Amino acid sequence: MTRLLVCPPDFFGIEYEINPWMRLSNRVDHEQAVRQWHGLMRVFEQDLGVVLERMTPVPGLPDLVFTANAGVVVGRTAVVSHFRYPERQREEAYFEDWFREHGYEVVSAEKGVCFEGAGDLLGFPDCWFGGYRQRSDIRAFPGLSKRFHREIIPLELIDTRFYHLDTCFCPLSGGELLYFPPAFDPYGQMAIAERIPNGQRVSVPEDEALKFACNAVCVGKHVVLPSGCPATERLLQERGYDTHAAPLDEFMKSGGSAKCLTLVLD
């Protein structure tokens, strides 16, 4: 059974600008954000039978809702993130505490090396991919590869709008990859093609990529993605996936969507 770590959006808002989506002038409708978040949770719990672990929100940490960046969890080990921007570095201690209190062996990212958790480390059972350049440092990956005995293919993120790997790259349970190729340079695109055969790669159209169609959560044959991405839904349905669109535009104001709001625990 899938378990996800989430954090209610009690203190969610835009209090700083650390990605191209964030505009202090673009105010979040807080009540609407809360409604959207609970709607998403309903899909997970009621439609997909996912178990949710809820963190306690902290005033002054508006982005704590984006639990994908807490770290990565492999078995009972949690590697806690080290954020690039000071605005989010204050979240690290809270995530670390949560992992400790829940019995995880906590490992810190290498000192002085930025690593933003499952936002930049995604993959298939054998092969993982690591996004770098925007937030995480490429130097974070060799250590993780050694610790978890997994190949980690680093992919440079070349478009600041797709600042985490999970904004443009979503591995699916059947081995397919939902992604937006122009977020990667030709080297990255070739490296992806080397690992994932042509028929398994599903390219998302640009207008839907910009609605974060790739910031989706795949649970078995179900994919939860932001609403407003009908072409992506069709592509997924053609491959036998049930799609669940959730309105999340209040979170898009902050540059996050379905996947950013969750962290896979098991």
Partner 1 sequence: MSASQETVLMSGHIIDSLVLAKVLDIILMMGGSFDIQDMQIGKTREDSSRARIFIRAASAALLNDILTAIQPHGASIEREADCQTAEAPADGIFPENFYATTHLPTQVRLRGQWVDVDRIEMDLGILVDERKSRATAVTMGDVRRGDRIVAGREGVRIIPLQRPRERDVFGFMEAQVSAERPHGHIIADIAARMGHLRQRYRQGQPDSKVLLSGGPAIIHAGGRDALTWLIEQGFIHLLFCGNALAAHDMEADLYGTSLGYGLTAGRAIPHGHEHHLRTINRIRTIGSIEAAVTSGVIRHGIMAACIRQGVPVVMAGTIRDDGPLPGVITDSVRAQSAMRAAVPGVGLALLVASTLHSVATGNLLPATVPTVCVDVNPSVPTKLSDRGSFQAVGLVMDAASFLSELVRVLERTA
Distance CA 186, CA 180 (A): 13
Q: Is 115 in the site for partner 1 (CB under 8 A)?
A: no
- Is-catalytic flag, 260? yes
- For partner 1, the closer CB: 23 or 147: 147
Q: Which of 145, 203, 227, 243 binds partner 1 (CB under 8 A)?
A: 145
Q: Is 93 in the site for partner 1 (CB under 8 A)?
A: no
- Report the site for partner 1 in 68-87 (rule: CB under 8 A): none
φ, ψ (nearest 5 deg) of residue 6? -135, 165
Q: Is 195 in the site for partner 1 (CB under 8 A)?
A: yes
Marked catalytic residue, from 82, 164, 222, 244: 164
Token digits for 251?
A: 């979170």
What residues have CB less than 8 Å from 70, skipping those under 6 apart?
Answer: 5, 78, 80, 81, 91, 95, 98, 99, 117, 118, 263
Which of 196, 220, 167 shows the shortest CA–CA distance to 21? 167
Beta bridge partners of 127: 151
- Is-catalytic flag, 102? no
CB of 93 to partner 1, least distance (A): 27
Q: Is 119 in the site for partner 1 (CB under 8 A)?
A: no
Q: Is 110 in the site for partner 1 (CB under 8 A)?
A: no
The number of beta carbons lying within 10 Å of the beta carbon of residue 47 is 13
User: Which residues contact partner 1 (rule: CB under 8 A)?
Assistant: 126-127, 132-133, 137-139, 141-142, 145-146, 149-156, 185, 187-188, 190-191, 194-195
